[in-house]
Chain A
């Protein structure tokens, strides 16, 4: 069983469209995250939810809206996609303190054309 699963793996879409990425974890963790990895491979946090409550919201355009229906799921919806949104988006989860490390999903490669 995959611990942190993201769908879809690849997403190609046109500018201006709205798209969603889904994430589910079966580890029983209480905290979930979205990270963005740019073309230079730099990993930057976007959002974090603890028990369905938003606890970290970095400087991210409000076109990006996370939603956590329960503590095992954290979805990412993106409105009005722009070329600069092209990147790999990673979902991750942890139990309690982030210092014990995250478990990452395998990523969603988003390409906006």
Chain B
């Protein structure tokens, strides 16, 4: 089955720093999604990307759909303590009613 390789696995940063994480795949996809999971909660959709090269922002978050359609990046600017959590990339492979496949996740810790 398809695999998504997400990196880094974990990050420890100081409040105010910028963060960057990425996701790659050996397959081409039509959709890239980024989720955040807070401790004790389910993942919540942050940003959805549907077009190669697309750059989309949501507040301090910016995500890009790679030109090759095999990768995506998520950047967080000026991190704050509530950014702590696990960030997942995901994609659906363009199938109707299909499953979402998730990356391994990036665990983000922000020190005040």
Contact = CB atoms under 8 A, between A and B. Distances in A.
Interface string A28-55: 0001010000001111110010100001
B97 A99 contact: no
Nearest to B101: A45
Interface in B62-79: none
Contacts of A92: 42
Interface string B64-100: 0000000000000000000000101001101111111
B27 to A, nearest CB: 14
B28 to A, nearest CB: 14
B42 A101 contact: no
Contacts of B43: 43, 90, 102, 104
A90 B42 contact: yes
Interface in B19-64: 30-31, 33, 37, 40-45, 48, 50
A101 B86 contact: no
A74 to B, nearest CB: 14
B7 interface: no
Contacts of A40: 104
B99 A43 contact: no
A17 B41 CA distance: 26
A40 B107 CA distance: 11
Nearest to A9: B40
Contacts of A41: 37, 86, 104-105, 107
B105 A104 contact: no
Given A42-B102, A101-B45, 5 more contacts: A42-B104, A50-B97, A90-B43, A96-B97, A99-B98
